[in-house]
Chain A
């Protein structure tokens, strides 16, 4: 498909899916200042899958609460409305792009593992930096490569060409996407984020996770996800579409003010949490 036609196709955005109805209802209630934890709980408990996922997450080492949380209302009170919305959004996202073949399913699962690794990495790095919103970083990490899922699901033939280009010329997925699509997964992710009316910060991180210094006021968050992405690839957690570790933006590294001596600590924590958290999201 010529690059110009593809850009028109993507720009139409009608082909991009909308959010699940339950997640939309939750988002509406979260944005209503009169909503209570009980109101939100009633919506969530209508969906057994979401209920199970939420309780499993709240009781995992991700939050590390000392006592078991057994009710959705209790979970909402503990972790807050915004956290609930963000977590339920991300756990629903990958369900929205069903795979057609077993090969597609393997690609999606590998990408999911990569996204989870990045999410965990972002949370670990954020914790080290004492960032206030670790759950936001986690969500950003989970969604940073959402553009690739769109390619797999909505442009399967072109995605196959991209994978072939990567294998034959040993280029990065971004380079192959630019050659074949005329845009990258970061651009497509931005479009999807706008379609879903995600927070501007989240859209900026998705768009600029390879160029974090272009994320404006959210440079720190983008730099965190950028580093987490690189460490996830270094550890080979899942598969991001190619076998290359991209270069770390030096300015982003200096912005975070981390020392190389902290890399072992970060990666050890990533590996520990990957197995623990991953089981609840798959």
Chain B
């Protein structure tokens, strides 16, 4: 995690600058000063590309519908993340087809 805002103690002394990575050691120091909340940056890296888990293949109709709705905005990483999450959730709720099996 990366700090979004500098952390200062109650005497306004700087403990850690904004933009620095938070380590276990820094968390222990914060706790010792009674600091319980931090502002951290989102998961986006410097270039705005999001580290997302691999999206499983979506049913074609869900995929097509999403790409059409997101046609104007889907190239932007955050909107792409929304599109993929929507696809996963819609696919998860699709009734699974019953598969036939031969009786012995």
Cβ–Cβ contact B72 & A260, under 8 A: no
The reply on A98 being an interface residue by CB < 8 A is: no
The reply on B39 being an interface residue by CB < 8 A is: yes
Q: For B52, list chain A residues within 8 Å (CB).
A: 260
The reply on A230 being an interface residue by CB < 8 A is: yes
Cβ–Cβ contact B89 & A264, under 8 A: yes
Q: For B83, list chain A residues within 8 Å (CB).
A: 234, 245
Cβ–Cβ contact B86 & A260, under 8 A: no
- Contact residue range for chain A? 20 to 34
B69 touches which of A244, A248, A258, A259 (Cβ 8 Å): A244
Q: How many residues of B contact A (CB 8 A)?
A: 27
The reply on B68 being an interface residue by CB < 8 A is: yes
Which B residues, 11 to 63, have Cβ-Cβ distances below 8 Å to chain A? 39, 42-44, 50, 52
In the complex, how many residue pairs between chain A and chain B have their CB atoms under 8 Å apart?
Answer: 69
Q: By CB atoms of chain B within 10 A, which of A234, A235, A267 has the most?
A: A234
Q: Using known A-B contacts A234-B66, A254-B42, A259-B42, determine if residue A244 contacts B78 with beta carbons closer than 8 Å.
A: no
Q: A231 CA to B79 CA in the complex, in Å?
A: 10
Q: For A257, list chain B residues within 8 Å (CB).
A: 39, 42
A234 touches which of B42, B50, B76, B86 (Cβ 8 Å): B86
Nearest-CB residue, chain A, relative to B40: A257
Which A residues, 170 to 191, have Cβ-Cβ distances below 8 Å to chain B? none
Q: A263 CA to B66 CA in the complex, in Å?
A: 15
Q: For B66, list chain A residues within 8 Å (CB).
A: 234
Nearest-CB residue, chain A, relative to B93: A271
The reply on A268 being an interface residue by CB < 8 A is: yes
Question: Nearest Cβ distance between residue A120 and chain B, in whole angstroms?
Answer: 13
Cβ–Cβ contact B50 & A260, under 8 A: yes
Q: A72 CA to B43 CA in the complex, in Å?
A: 46
Q: A146 CA to B90 CA in the complex, in Å?
A: 27
* Chain A window 239-269, contacts with chain B (Cβ cutoff 8 Å), 1 for yes, 0 for no: 0000111111010011001111101100110
Q: For B88, list chain A residues within 8 Å (CB).
A: 264
Q: For B39, list chain A residues within 8 Å (CB).
A: 257
Question: Nearest Cβ distance between residue A265 and chain B, in whole angstroms?
Answer: 9
* Chain B window 67-103, contacts with chain A (Cβ cutoff 8 Å), 1 for yes, 0 for no: 0111111001011011101101110110000000000
Cβ–Cβ contact A263 & B81, under 8 A: yes
Nearest-CB residue, chain A, relative to B50: A260
Question: Nearest Cβ distance between residue B18 and chain A, in whole angstroms?
Answer: 14
Q: A23 CA to B34 CA in the complex, in Å?
A: 49
Q: A253 CA to B43 CA in the complex, in Å?
A: 12
Q: Using known A-B contacts A231-B86, A257-B39, A268-B89, determine if residue A245 contacts B78 with beta carbons closer than 8 Å.
A: no
Cβ–Cβ contact B43 & A267, under 8 A: no
Q: A235 CA to B88 CA in the complex, in Å?
A: 10
Q: For B86, list chain A residues within 8 Å (CB).
A: 231, 234-235, 267
Question: Nearest Cβ distance between residue B28 and chain A, in whole angstroms?
Answer: 24
Nearest-CB residue, chain A, relative to B74: A245
Q: Using known A-B contacts A259-B42, A260-B42, A261-B43, determine if residue A245 contacts B90 with beta carbons closer than 8 Å.
A: no
Q: For A261, list chain B residues within 8 Å (CB).
A: 43
Question: Nearest Cβ distance between residue B79 and chain A, in whole angstroms?
Answer: 6
The reply on A99 being an interface residue by CB < 8 A is: no
Q: For A246, list chain B residues within 8 Å (CB).
A: 73
Nearest-CB residue, chain A, relative to B65: A236
Nearest-CB residue, chain A, relative to B44: A260
Q: A231-B82, A235-B89, A268-B89 are in contact. List 4 more A-B contacts (CB 8 A).
A: A236-B65, A248-B73, A260-B42, A263-B81
